[in-house]
Structure 1
Amino acid sequence: MTDEPATSEPPLEVVAEPARPAPPAEAADIPLLRIEAVVKQFGGFRAVDRLSLDIRAGEFFALLGPSGCGKTTLLRMLAGFETPDEGRILLDGWDIAPLLPHERPVNMMFQNYALFPHLSVRDNIAFGLKRAGMAASEIAERVAEMVALVKLEGLEKRKPDQLSGGQKQRVALARALARRPRILLLDEPLAALDKKLRESTQAELMALQRRLGTTFIIVTHDQDEAMTMADRIGVMDRGRLEQVATPRQLYEAPASRWIAEFVGDINLFEGEVASREAGRLVIATREAGSIVVAAPLQPITKDVVAVAIRPEKVKLSRRGPASDDADHAHAINRLEGVVTDVGYLGGTTTYRVQLDSGAVLRSSMANTARIDIDAYSPTHRVVAWFTPDDCLVLEQ
């Protein structure tokens, strides 16, 4: 394998990999992984379409997208199980296409874990080390390290069918990390776990990644999972990257209407720019009348646009906002209607409000008190309000 990742612990001895030339002097300025205009086709179907992406060393990166968008195909090309039809995949500045999967400083943890049913926990973890020719004493030391790392002490002699789903996941993770890859690829690694176990495992994976300093690339269709774990997220659709951003940027400043609708819940009203003034736009919408929005940083070049408001930005009250609820109370958008549906989710309550115009507006409000005197029920008449800064303007 290649160089050890940065860690506060003493470096472990690593398995030697085939010799390769020293990287060029300017390699320090390039990302750990660079994907350049990669194309992959299966017959007449283009699974990955001229995709380019840079991933930094030590980054926790998520590939997010609907089923069939090409994210797993891309992951398999990084692992060496598929070959690009066009483009290059560079690791530390060198094209890794000629390397077989077991020759790459990359390892992959599969969705179904792919454990050997006839091997014990210890032997499953040791499998790749034995194939790499590591000495028996070194294998024993490395396996013990991995067992402790993923908290499997006392289970070393068990077979996979004697383990819980969470324990199997830990064995697969330990085996994937045992050879100290530069990049760990994770294909829907938490899909088989129940909600509580999935949430605790997310935290453990994040802590483990920070401790080891290994670059993690995770493929998922679970938005919450990507938003929770990743430093940056690449959203894919039909083989292309639609946006690469931090979770906050992706949620608060989506690059397109499609991303705004795909990531989280959102209210969308179509309309036209009616007027422009300092720092403000007035959008005449078909469903909700005139809405005042903050002018985006990027100038709006089209007159037909969509106004987007996240449900948690929409407040409800019986009479509207108090005068101190915003710096510019006169600019607050007020829409009146009737509550039609209520969903209590513990930490939040969701509301559907049918506006007087007939359109439906969704609101999500935090439950900050055990007994909420401001809760609303179906048939309650309410004022829904939000500020210009709460709105996004998206060109059609």
Structure 2
Amino acid sequence: MGQAGSMTGDAANSAGGADSKTEAHAALGMPLLRIERVVKKFDGFRAVDALSLDIPAGEFFALLGPSGCGKTTLLRMLAGFETPDEGRILLNGKDIARVPPHQRPVNMMFQNYALFPHLNVRDNIAFGLKRAGLPSSEIGARIAEMVALVKLDGLEKRKPDQLSGGQRQRVALARSLARRPQLLLLDEPLAALDKKLRESTQLELMELQRRLGLTFVIVTHDQAEAMTMAGRIGVMDAGRLEQVATPRELYEAPHSRWIAEFVGDVNLLEGKIETGAGDHPTMARRLAIATAQAGTIYVAEPRQPLTKANLCVAIRPEKVKLSRRAPVSDDARAINRLEGVVTDVSYLGGITSYKIKLDGGAVLRSSMANTARLDFDAYNPGQRVVAWFSPEDCVVLEQ
């Protein structure tokens, strides 16, 4: 890690006071971090466009979005490596937008870790502490604390090239935490790790964050990573926050078609409101949406009134059930029944993914859990099926 966010000696020595200020600020209902209409332009291009966001103390927050959406630029402004052209960045009520990186109680852990190759584990962790002017006894105690915290015992004398990728990541994390920052920024910190190590490290980071009670802001383009680790996720596109929500809310109640497509897999059916749902008890509080390639789809009435004629019905693949024959006619969960042919089957271990070409022309995807080791009832390409799903499992999105 580079020296992002290392504090001055005075700032480092007042870490205990900063903690009490953070608690007092939280008690007043104020967020630890408040971003107010921040703008950052490069050659006239708005990388971050009038973005506002509140993050309370102790939250694990994720910035998720495609490459070039502005999430790393925003993180660099929080660290002090970039200065906003407009707006404010308040940390504990103080505007730090133009405070130099080394004077902020903020640390940043980079994707490539940026460890010093000529220094061993102990000296890499100690580097920022020495620059802050801490006494030797305190430095030694802090190093021992960090080594134990990230489970590097016995590796203190090794240099980075003698460590595995996961161990280097732990050294970078220990160095970031050694200064006891109020805010820790993580820029794609697990990207260099293989899948299994990345998954185990995600859990370790979550446990570490809970134990320390620090505020973490992580930037990632990995949806599963963001949804696993973060309490809330902000999805960015073209420099703006499109939606800020918990992982469940983001997945189950996306605000737009773009969010629905970006977060996870989804079936989208274009349509328009057709008529009232009728008087049958199972049709109460339903809307009928006329689609060109799937016929009439019944959906639960949205909480917000619809203002546009052109609509999109979104259904997640795991909500689409398959049967060889139509479900019981009075089953309210199976109002939507669409017949078609299986065209593709992908076995993915825990689930099997199916593509179904409906008689009306639309293609639906269904994900079915593999609950038995040998599933003799699995569906095969060319087989006719009934795809069914509940109105409550549909989300109506305006185009």
Indicate the TM-score class for this superposition, using the shorter chain for normalisation.
over 0.9
CA root-mean-square deviation: 2.0
Distance 1:135 1:291 in 2: 70
Unaligned residue ranges in structure 1 (runs of 5+): 3-12
Between the aligned partners of 1:182 and 1:26, the Cα distance in structure 2 is 13
Counterpart for residue 162 of structure 2: 162
Aligned mate of 1:343, from 326, 341, 346: 346
The match for 1:319 is: 325
- 1:7 corresponds in structure 2 to none
Provide the C-alpha distance between the structure 1 equivalents of 2:329 and 2:145, rounded to a whole number of angstroms. Answer: 61
State the Cα deviation string for residues 15-53 of structure 1 (Å, max 9, x = none).
Answer: 337x99x89x97722100000000000112110000000
2:242 aligned with 1:270 = no
**In 2, distance between residues paired with 1:125 and 1:15?**
17
- Work out the CA distance in 2 between the residues paired with 1:65 and 1:303: 29
Equivalent residue number for residue 41 of structure 1: 41
CA 363–91 in structure 1, closer or farther in 2 if over 3 Å, else same: same
Count the aligned residue pairs: 381
Residues 236-259 of structure 1 deviation map (CA, whole Å, 9 limit, x = unaligned)? 000000000000000000011110
2:13 aligns to what SS in structure 1?
coil
2: CA distance between counterparts of 1:195 and 1:184? 23
1:332 equivalent in alignment to 2:335? yes
Deviation at 1:14, TM superposition (A): 5.9
Question: 1:10 — aligned with what?
Answer: none
Question: 1:72 deviation in Å?
Answer: 0.2
1:221-268 deviation line (CA, Å, top 9, x unaligned): 000000000000000000000000000000000011110011000000
Matched residue of 1:29: which SS?
coil
Q: In the alignment, which residue of structure 2 is the partner of 1:384? A: 387
- Choose between structure 1 and 2: higher helix proportion: 2
CA shift in 2, pair 1:26/1:170, >3 Å: closer
Pairing of 1:268-307 with structure 2 (within 5 A): 268-277=268-277, 278-307=284-313
Corresponding residue for residue 5 of structure 1: none
In 2, distance between residues paired with 1:33 and 1:305? 37
TM norm structure 1: 0.93
Give per-residue Cα distances to partners, 1:179-222, cap 9 Å, x unaligned. 10111000000000110000000000000000000000000000
Partner of 2:377: 374
Q: Is the CA contact (8 Å cut-off) linking 2:150 and 2:174 kept in structure 1?
A: yes
**Using the alignment, how far apart are the partners of 2:343 and 2:77 within structure 1?**
49
Bigger drift between 225-234 and 336-345 goes to 336-345
Deviation at 1:323, TM superposition (A): 5.7
Q: Does structure 2 retain, via aligned residues, the 8 Å contact 1:307–1:393?
A: yes
Does structure 1 conserve the Cα–Cα contact (< 8 Å) formed by 2:25 and 2:32? no
Contact 1:79 1:108 in 2 (8 A): yes
Q: Are the counterparts in 2 of residues 60 and 216 from structure 1 also a CA contact under 8 Å?
A: yes
SS at match of 1:372: coil
The SS at the match of 1:37 is strand
Give matches, 1:180-219, under 5 Å.
180-219=180-219
* Matched AA of 2:235: V
Aligned to 1:8: none
> What is the alpha-carbon distance in structure 1 between the residues aligned to residue 166 and residue 146 of structure 2?
16
What is the rounded CA distance, in whole Å, between the counterparts of 2:299 and 2:261 in structure 1?
19
Identity %: 77
Counterpart amino acid of residue 296 in structure 1: P
CA distance in 1, matches of 2:246, 2:106: 24
Aligned position for 1:251: 251
Does structure 2 retain, via aligned residues, the 8 Å contact 1:317–1:374? no
Partner SS, residue 167 of structure 1:
helix
- The aligned amino acid for 1:201 is T
2:50 and 2:87 in contact (8 A); partners too: yes
Q: Distance in 2 between matches of 1:357 and 1:253?
A: 27
CA contact (8 A) 1:15 1:179 kept: no
CA contact (8 A) 2:343 2:354 kept: yes
Tell me by how many angstroms 1:377 deviates.
1.1
- Contact 2:12–2:132 (Cα < 8 Å) also in 1: no
